[in-house]
């Protein structure tokens, strides 16, 4: 019963088969291989756009290398207060950008709002040379709280950013889950919605270690090749990255994987919501589920093999109350999650509810 992270799921059989196929024979190195060329074309076709595409092996490298091409060292990068780049990538963004400052907004909400962005840019305007000027808006799709930005919300946010002279970066570690949830074309929540650079994540959704930095604003890509090499992220045997994307993108395999992960989260949400002692923090939108549950229940199901993590209570909405004997938790489903895992987990909680040591009933 693995609900800890979609990073724990390994790679899909199709992606592994693609890697095995790419393993035969010899191939050009450093991005000049046929697999990288094919993957680049597939990504361009995926977005129906002649974008500049570069492959890297980690999400942190993708985000920070992208930002290094977008922000000057004396600028700020605006993002949600819970964003991965400000909380979970150490000081890599500052290191790669050589000093750009990260500024978090809307920490108490599950995603950024147009109103707060407009307010910050209007009333917190830079006073050069004394204040750092905003240079980039970074959005995460899905957000760190597992929430979706709709097409309309994205258009509002990017329009405000562009009006104030900011570029727009998107951390798309779970971009596939967002597309699956919205039922839209990938272009509708990327370049058509005003995103300048997208970090397209495959690792959380069936790849081993493959991320693509997609420059819709091609002028911003001019220094990426040098930045990637300087940072030590130019893979010599680059076909391993290209081969993963070739299989991942083939016949919309990426979308099928994301749809399955989302459906498992929806099933888990529906079944857990039937238990009176489980409270949902906000509706499930993709493949992440946030709930309040008794600490006794957490211990009970973990003893039976369930894996998931607590979520910091200071990141919850103000109206969500957590009692002394409760905690906030996050469940993440993946392409590997099965209906049996969901049923087994729910069954363990039902067993907990009838336990003689527990006074809670369903």
> Over 60: is that where the pLDDT of 360 sits?
no
Classified as helix, coil or strand, 216 is: coil
Ordered DSSP codes for 308-351: -EE--GGGS-TT----TTEEEEEEE--TT--HHHHHHHHHHHHH
> Over 60: is that where the pLDDT of 48 sits?
yes
Q: What percent of the chain has pLDDT over 90?
A: 91
Least confident of 54-68, 289-303, 304-318: 304-318
> Over 60: is that where the pLDDT of 147 sits?
yes
Distance CA 286, CA 201 (A): 15
pLDDT of residue 77: 98
Question: Are 216 and 190 contacting, i.e. CB atoms less than 8 angstroms apart?
Answer: yes
> Over 50: is that where the pLDDT of 256 sits?
yes
pLDDT of residue 362: 46
Classified as helix, coil or strand, 126 is: coil
Ordered DSSP codes for 28-64: --TT-SHHHHHHHHHHHHHHTS--EEEEES-HHHHHH
Q: What percent of the chain has pLDDT over 70?
A: 97
Nearest C-alpha neighbor of 95 from the set 69, 59, 64, 133: 64
91: CB partners within 8 A, 6+ apart: none
152: CB partners within 8 A, 6+ apart: none
Fold held by 254-353: 3.90.1150
205: CB partners within 8 A, 6+ apart: 6, 174, 176, 177, 248, 254, 257, 258, 261, 334, 335
What is the CATH code of the structural domain delimited by 12-251? Answer: 3.40.640.10
What are the backbone dihedrals phi and psi of residue 328, each rounded to the nearest 5 degrees, phi first? Answer: -90, 140
pLDDT of residue 319: 85
Distance CA 144, CA 37 (A): 32
Nearest C-alpha neighbor of 215 from the set 234, 228, 233, 196: 196
Structure-token pair, residue 62: 């993708």
* pLDDT band for position 356 (cuts 50, 70, 90): very low
Count Cβ atoms within 10 A of the Cβ of residue 280 and give its class: 0-12 exposed, 13-18 middle, 19 or more buried: middle
Structure-token pair, residue 238: 């680059």
Least confident of 21-30, 154-163, 316-325: 316-325
Q: In Å, how far are 12, 115, 165 from 111, measured between CA atoms?
A: 30, 12, 22
pLDDT of residue 99: 98
Summarize pLDDT for 124-135 with one digit per residue, the tens: 666 788 889 999
Mean pLDDT of the chain: 95
The distance of Cα 318 from the centroid of its chain, to the nearest Å, equals 24
Please report, in angstroms and rounded to a whole number, the separation of the first and last CA atoms in the chain. Answer: 21
pLDDT of residue 355: 79
Other CB atoms within a 10 A radius of the CB of residue 222 amount to: 11
pLDDT of residue 128: 80
Helix axes 239-249, 253-272, angle to 10 degrees: 70
Q: What is the CA radius of gyration of the chain?
A: 21
> Over 60: is that where the pLDDT of 60 sits?
yes
Residue 129, preceding bond cis, omega within 30 degrees?
yes
Nearest C-alpha neighbor of 96 from the set 224, 2, 214: 224
Summarize pLDDT for 72-123 with one digit per residue, the tens: 999 999 999 999 999 999 999 999 999 999 999 987 889 999 999 999 998 7
Average pLDDT over residues 340-354: 95
What are the backbone dihedrals phi and psi of residue 73, each rounded to the nearest 5 degrees, phi first? Answer: -60, -25
Residue 142, preceding bond cis, omega within 30 degrees?
yes
Summarize pLDDT for 168-217 with one digit per residue, the tens: 999 999 999 999 999 999 999 999 999 999 999 999 999 999 999 999 99
> Over 80: is that where the pLDDT of 67 sits?
yes
Q: What ranges do the domains of the chain cover?
A: 12-251, 254-353
Average pLDDT over residues 228-244: 97
Give start and end residues of each alpha helix (H) in 209-290.
224-230, 239-249, 253-272
């Amino acid at each position: 019963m693995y609900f800890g992270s979609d990073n724990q799921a390994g790679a899909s059989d199709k992606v592994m088969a693609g890697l095995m196929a790419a393993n035969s024979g010899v191939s050009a190195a450093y991005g000049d291989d046929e697999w990288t060329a094919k993957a680049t074309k597939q990504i361009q076709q995926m977005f129906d756009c002649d974008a500049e595409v570069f492959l890297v092996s980690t999400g942190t490298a993708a985000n920070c290398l992208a930002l290094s091409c977008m922000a000057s060292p004396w600028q700020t990068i605006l993002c949600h207060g819970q964003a991965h780049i400000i909380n979970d990538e150490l000081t890599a963004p500052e290191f790669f950008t050589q000093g750009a400052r990260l500024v978090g907004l809307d920490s108490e909400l599950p995603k950024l709002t147009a109103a707060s962005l407009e307010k910050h840019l209007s009333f917190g305007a830079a006073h050069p040379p004394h204040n750092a000027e905003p240079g980039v808006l970074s959005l995460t799709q899905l957000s760190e709280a597992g929430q979706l930005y709709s097409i309309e919300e994205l258009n509002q946010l990017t329009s405000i950013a562009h009006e104030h002279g900011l570029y727009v970066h998107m951390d798309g570690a779970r971009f596939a889950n967002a597309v699956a949830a919205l039922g839209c074309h990938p272009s509708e929540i990327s370049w058509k919605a005003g995103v300048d650079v997208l970090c397209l994540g495959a690792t959380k959704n069936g790849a081993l270690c493959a991320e693509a930095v997609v420059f819709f604003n091609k002028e911003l890509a001019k220094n990426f090749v040098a930045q990637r090499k300087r940072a030590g992220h130019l893979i010599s045997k680059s076909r391993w990255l290209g081969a993963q994307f070739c299989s991942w993108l083939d016949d919309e395999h990426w979308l099928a994987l994301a749809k399955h992960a989302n459906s498992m989260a929806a099933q888990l949400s529906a079944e857990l919501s039937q238990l009176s002692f489980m409270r949902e923090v906000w509706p499930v939108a993709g493949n992440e589920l946030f709930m309040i549950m008794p600490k006794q229940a957490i211990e009970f199901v973990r003893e039976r093999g369930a894996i998931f993590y607590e979520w910091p209570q200071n990141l919850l909405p103000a109206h969500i109350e957590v009692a002394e004997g409760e905690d906030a938790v996050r469940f993440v489903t993946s392409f590997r999650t099965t209906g049996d895992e969901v049923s087994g987990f729910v069954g363990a909680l039902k067993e907990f509810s009838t336990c003689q040591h527990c006074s809670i009933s369903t």
